[in-house]
Structure 1
Amino acid sequence: MSPSKAYKAVGFSSFGEYTKGLASLGTILSTRSFSPIMPANPVKSSGEAMKRVLGAFDLVCLGIGMMLGAGVFVTTGYVTANLAGYIVAGICAMLSSFCYAEFAVDIPAAGGAYTYIAAALGEFLAWLAVANLIFEYILANAAAIRGFSPYFAALTNKTETWYIHFWTAPDGTLFQLDWWAFGWCLVLSVLLIFGTKESAWFNGVVTVLHVVLVVFIIIAGLVKAKPSNAVPFLPFGAKGAFNGASIVFFSYIGFDAVACAAEETKNPRKDLPRGILGSVSIVTVLYTLMAITLALMVPREDLLGFSSASFANAFTYAGMQWATYIVAVGALLGIITTTLVGMYGTSRIITGVARDHLIPPFLATVGGRASTPWIAIAIQGVGSAVLALLSPFSDLADMVSISTLFAFWVVALGLVWRRSCTDGIGGGGNLPGLATADDSAPEGDADATPAAAPKSERLAPGALLRRRLLTAGLLLAINAGALLFTLGWVFSETGSTQETITLSVGGGVFLISTACLHLLVKPMYTPPRYQAPLYPWLPAVSMAFNVFLLGQLGKVAWIRFFIWTGACIACYLLYSSVASYNKLSYEKESLPTNVPATELTAGKDADISKDLEMTK
């Protein structure tokens, strides 16, 4: 069956082909939606593979550029006074980053969270997580760049209205048009289309300048430090530290964009862990030092009065008005890199999803001189630009965060399930073609050693079913314990008997369930290149903390999440699942060979001639 132009654009050659697939929806849901799958062949699905041009330094700069944005400069005094919150949040971000690192090294393909969840839990959960994530990333990119004009106004001693154009629509609606934000979105989109290496170079230069400014701000602030200002270390107690962590954790969101660069990394096995874990570590140190600096500069009672722009207010308090301009420059650099890397990560996620036809496959097109996913970059760039032009920062910021935490939670859940209940190639132990390929050294890396073969085992169907039921029950108990702990934390009166009982029971259920998972469910699969340490405790704690942070979000955020998720489910039932299933009917006739995840190694993507699509 030869694919038509219509099929390559929207996933179907005709309306009749769509209705035929829709009639098979029951079969699709029972046989494919929850069956682990591996990423599609990039050459076959995108026209050509993306170039492997990124090294460890580029990846570290991508992570820092995304995380070290303007937010740290405008955080409230309450957050910065709560020093332990930054440390706790940094540790929790590191837990999620370990999970992402394991998946990214084992499956170095575009798509990020979508690819990892699909490889462990199937395309339905992957679609729900990433459809929310794409929407939120586009909003976050628009929100970030919308902050450019206010800081530029402060730097040039102008009012914010100098750079914002007010326009009244015919129906009387007043819009605050930010053409600077609109223009920056388009410029950064063009840069990303021009080339990944060029974009990484630009991001690297700006990020290094940003880090230098941050270090300068820390040193300048410490000149005015008084140790007595930071006493006591836990002004709001242990509970206050965790509440503060739930607020500042969102400053660490962005390391997952590094995982989206897996397909363009020269040596994924070595560079991805360094990029993901290295960027989180550096940002954690910088955030903590900045919080310490503020706490030492200003007495706590005055610091708590800063409702925003704590650094600018702190330097003004200390008689260093000139330093506020340095803060503005640092914020501008952070805004640019945050938006650039956010748009980069979004386009790679869109590419990965489009390769499986969950969204129109033309979005996965890779081409041009630099072999970039230019259509995905252009469409999400224009979307962010229009949102940034029309919507104020506060309206956009209020809608960002819940989807990222949900994705982090599902990735940690998927890591446990993949290790416990599959053989590592997404087939749950019953797929043909399980021979492991040698992991040869990447070109130009003479010192690299071949990766060991993955440790996996095959179980009889009955034994596999019992293992899956046991694992599912323990995962349910782990998350139930975390949820009970969260509910007690949020709704119980501090110091009450109800709080003590709820926290004790919730924590106890979590600990006992994780211990049972450790003792009773030995891994079926161990990744050959890189493994998240302290399994299964690390992913279990990561799940628990993401549940805890999700529990801190407000009612409005949850309402928006459920409304959008409902729309995503409808889209999956009416289009995505049918298009993905239709893709299989084409590929089964041409390239039926199955290939394990271990063959997705550095340097092989462009030459691979086998079908990498893994289905049940």
Structure 2
Amino acid sequence: MTTQKIAPGSTRPSLRQQLGARKPIEAFIADAGSGTGGPKLRRSLGLLHLTMISVGATLGTGIFVVLSSAVPLAGPAVWISFAIAGLAALFAALSYAEMAGAVPVSGSSYTYTYATMGEGLAWICGWCLVLEYAVSVAAIAVGAGEYINEMANTIGLDLPAALTNPPGTDGGVFNIPALAIVLFATVLLVRGTKESAVVNTVLVLIKIAVLIFFIVIAFSAFTSSNFDPLLPMGTAGVSAAAARLFFSYIGFDAASTAGEEAKNPQRDLPRAIILSMIIITTLYILVAITAIGARQWMWFDGKEAALVQLLEEVTGQSWVALVFAIGAVLAIVSIVITVLYGQTRILVAMSRDGMVPKVFGKISARNGAPVAGTWITGGVVAVVAGLVPLGQLADATSIGTLFAFSLVSLAVIYLRRSSPELPRTFKVPLYPVTPILAIIFCVYLMLNLGVITWVVFGIWILVGAALYLGYGRRHSVLASAGVTTRR
């Protein structure tokens, strides 16, 4: 590989040169090791913590929040939609596992893209990650508000709709529960990585137990006739539901954002990503099958907290629904914690490169966490969670995530060709078929999203391009060093 410099007398590379500039992997590792002259992120996370970060960031979103909106699209075949979305996510997860072992630093797909496809696509990828992480946190917190309402109802309380729903939804003005959950997660993350990882591990184990609890009770009311006909909405409905349910798998890549805080990143990051996918997909499919077995698919239409209501109907006991609702809220809290964690670590990586203001990369000497960036990110996300309805958030998040996943699979192919000697602790099986299939699946699911979602995504990209031209291009560390390309 070679690195080219700006010609003598030039002050800035051309836009074309800068968009194609690639940052060497060695430079990413050096930045992480030096802490860019200040305090560094602390290595305190083992395999269990990393696995629970990915599981915590993922498990529960589709089951607790999005399931009831996907069942009307696919009917009883919703479990097949979960399997399709899970297969697409698995192919992408294998690519993430290889890249995480080869490039063990913060930044996830933003970093991988910068090292392989240049600054322009890296910025777009990072901008999509802002959509994926920050907006999905808000969407998940919105869903938590529904379960808090269910908790209140089971003990005879009627919370005011104006304070528990976003504007334009059932008389809502501001979603206070969603705001409170995001602020709680922000406070926890500010205290330190190890502390928040321990809390997250406990919460993840609780939500796994809650989902197993649901499976057992729902299975007691299982009726096989609920699956006839299996495809009332046809294969198109299954595909549409799979595209929506891909939102349920967002977060498995969260462990890859912890590259600089893992004790043994090359060994543990790939393992954590693969283990988390096995746990998540298995539980999703089991819950979907038992839920449809317990109630006909039409029953789910319009029910925001469907699983709680299903348990209450099956058992006739309000305490069962209360226990599940509490577990659902705790599950969603763990998602908010881990996804918000991933967002702040990506912003750390982007700030080192000059893509976002330096405040996001400032690490506290006291606890080794990006305190200022966490407060800023958490505050913005909390306001969004209080004001924006769930449905608009979920689909917009999915398309940005699918785009980022496609770039990671392309990065695997690029590095295999350009740097075959690069040490890799994990390699995707059946290369190059696996990363190519990951790209195909991601594009397929993107095409199954609605026109409005594509319009929102297009606007998001245009806003990101304007921000890059107005800030990122002028503050790029790589450009200021005179690097124009790397072959």
Which of 524, 534, 553 aligns to 2:430? It is: 534
Residue 164 of structure 1 pairs with residue 160 of structure 2: no
Note closer, same or farther for the CA distance 1:350–1:326 as it changes in structure 2 (3 Å cut).
same
1:67-146 superposed matches below 5 A: 67-74=58-65, 75-76=67-68, 77-78=71-72, 79=74, 81-82=76-77, 83-146=79-142
Q: Which of 434, 437, 442 is 1:546 aligned to? A: 442
Taking the aligned partners of 2:166 and 2:112, their CA distance within structure 1 comes to: 44
User: Closer, same or farther in 2 for the Cα pair 1:573/1:266, shift >3 Å?
Assistant: same
Instruction: Please give the TM-score of this superposition, normalised by the length of structure 2.
Output: 0.87
Inter-partner Cα distance in structure 2 for 1:221 and 1:49: 48
Q: Shift of the alpha carbon at 1:393?
A: 3.6
1:53 matched to 2:49? The reply is: no
Match of 2:474 in 1: 578
**1:171-211 CA distances to partner (integer Å, 9 max, x unpaired)?**
xxx97123333233222112112111100000011110111
Mapped to 1, the partners of 2:462 and 2:265 lie a distance apart of 36
Written as runs of structure 1 = structure 2, the 5 A alignment for 1:257-268 is 257-268=254-265
Does 1:41 find its partner at 2:31? yes
* Distance in 2 separating the partners of 1:305 and 1:187: 31
* 1:355–1:361 contact (8 Å) kept in structure 2: yes
Deviations 1:319-352 (A, max 9, x none): 5343332331232012201111111000000001
Quick one: which of 384, 387, 398 aligns to 1:387?
A: 384
Indicate how the Cα distance of structure 1 residues 306 and 566 shifts in structure 2: closer, same or farther if over 3 A, else same.
closer
C-alpha separation in 2, matches of 1:35 and 1:66: 30
Q: How big is the shift at 1:242? A: 3.6
- Are 2:404 and 1:417 aligned? no
Q: Determine the C-alpha separation between the residues in 2 that align with 1:239 and 1:342.
A: 31
Confirm or deny: 8 A CA contact 2:20 2:485 kept in the other structure: no
- Contact 2:101–2:266, Cα closer than 8 Å, also in 1: yes
**Do the aligned partners of residues 567 and 304 (structure 1) sit closer, same or farther apart at CA in structure 2, a change above 3 Å counting?**
closer
1:408 aligns with 2:372: no
Cα pair distance change 1:313/1:321, threshold 3 Å: same
Which of residues 350, 355, 360 is equivalent to 2:352? 355
Q: Contact 1:32 / 1:122 at 8 angstroms: preserved in 2? A: yes
1:66 is matched with 57
Work out which of the residue numbers 187, 190, 200 in structure 1 matches 2:184.
187
Aligned to 1:281: 278
Matches within 5 A, 1:338-349: 338-349=335-346
8 Å contact 2:176–2:386 — kept in the other structure? yes
CA contact (8 A) 1:230 1:296 kept: yes
**Unaligned segments of structure 1, at least 5 residues:** 1-20, 169-173, 424-454, 457-525, 589-612
Amino acid at match of 1:554: G
Residues 370/560 of structure 1: CA separation in 2 closer, same or farther (3 Å cut):
same
Alignment of 1:94-493 (within 5 A): 94-157=90-153, 158-161=157-160, 164=163, 176-231=173-228, 240-299=237-296, 302-303=298-299, 308-322=304-318, 323-397=320-394, 399-420=396-417, 422-423=418-419, 455-456=420-421
Given candidates 451, 458, 478, the residue that maps to 1:562 is 458
The question of whether the paired residues in 2 share the 8 Å contact of 1:69 and 1:337 is answered with no
TM-aligned CA distance change 1:47 to 1:392, over 3 Å: same
- For 1:296 and 1:119, the matched residues in 2 are separated by 48
Structure 2 residues without counterparts, runs of 5 or longer: 1-8
CA distance in 1, matches of 2:124, 2:204: 32
What is the letter of the counterpart of residue 257 of structure 1? A
| CA deviation after TM superposition for structure 1 residue 402, in Å | 1.4
Whole-Å Cα distance in 2 between the matches of residues 392 and 286 of structure 1? 27
Query: 1:349-378 deviations in whole A, cap 9, x for unaligned?
Result: 000111111112232111232201122211
The structure-2 alpha-carbon separation of the partners of 1:181 and 1:242, relative to structure 1 and needing over 3 Å to count, comes to: closer
2: CA distance, partners of 1:145 / 1:241: 26
TM-score, length basis structure 1: 0.69
SS in 1 for 2:369: coil
- Is the Cα contact below 8 Å between 2:95 and 2:409 reproduced in 1? yes
Give 1:578 deviation, angstroms.
2.7
Say which is worse superposed, 328-337 or 200-209, in terms of deviation.
328-337
The change in CA–CA distance for 1:569 and 1:529 in structure 2 (over 3 A counts) is: same
Letter in 1 for 2:54: G
- Structure 2 counterpart of 1:37, one-letter code: P
Pick 1 or 2: higher relative contact order, CA cutoff 8 A, min separation 6. 2
Q: Which has the higher helix share?
A: 2
**Alignment partner of 2:105: what SS?**
coil
The structure-2 alpha-carbon separation of the partners of 1:299 and 1:381, relative to structure 1 and needing over 3 Å to count, comes to closer
User: 2:404, 2:478 → 1: CA distance?
Assistant: 27
Conserved? CA contact 1:107–1:116, under 8 Å: yes
Larger radius of gyration: 1
8 Å contact 2:49–2:198 — kept in the other structure? yes
Counterparts of residues 487-506 of structure 1 (less than 5 Å): none
Report if the CA contact (8 A) 1:258-1:275 is conserved. Answer: yes
Distance in 2, Cα, partners of 1:165 & 1:211 = 26
Q: Per the alignment, do residues 321 and 384 of structure 1 end up closer, same or farther by CA in structure 2, a change over 3 Å counting? A: same
Query: Aligned partners of 1:389 and 1:167: how far apart in 2?
Result: 6
1:122 partner amino acid: G
CA contact (8 A) 2:132 2:397 kept: yes
Q: How many residues align?
A: 464
Listed one character per residue, the Cα deviations across residues 529-570 of structure 1 (whole Å, up to 9, x for unaligned) are: 211111000000000000001101111221122222122222
Amino acid of the residue matched to residue 567 of structure 1?
V
Q: Distance in 2 between matches of 1:68 and 1:166?
A: 23
The change in CA–CA distance for 1:582 and 1:287 in structure 2 (over 3 A counts) is closer
Cα shift readout 1:272-331 (whole Å, capped 9, x = no counterpart): 12211111110100001101111222345x546565443234334435343332331232
Task: Tell me, in whole angstroms, the C-alpha distance in 2 between the residues paired with 1:331 and 1:179.
Answer: 17
Asked whether the 8 Å contact 1:36–1:121 carries over to 2, the reply is no
Q: Distance in 1 between matches of 2:166 and 2:302?
A: 32
Q: How many Å separate the matches in 1 of 2:90 and 2:166?
A: 44
Tell me the CA shift for residue 234 of structure 1: 5.5
Aligned Cα RMSD in Å?
Answer: 3.0
Q: Secondary structure of the residue that 1:138 maps to in structure 2? A: helix
Q: Which amino acid is 1:155 matched to? A: M
Q: Secondary structure at the match of 1:147?
A: helix
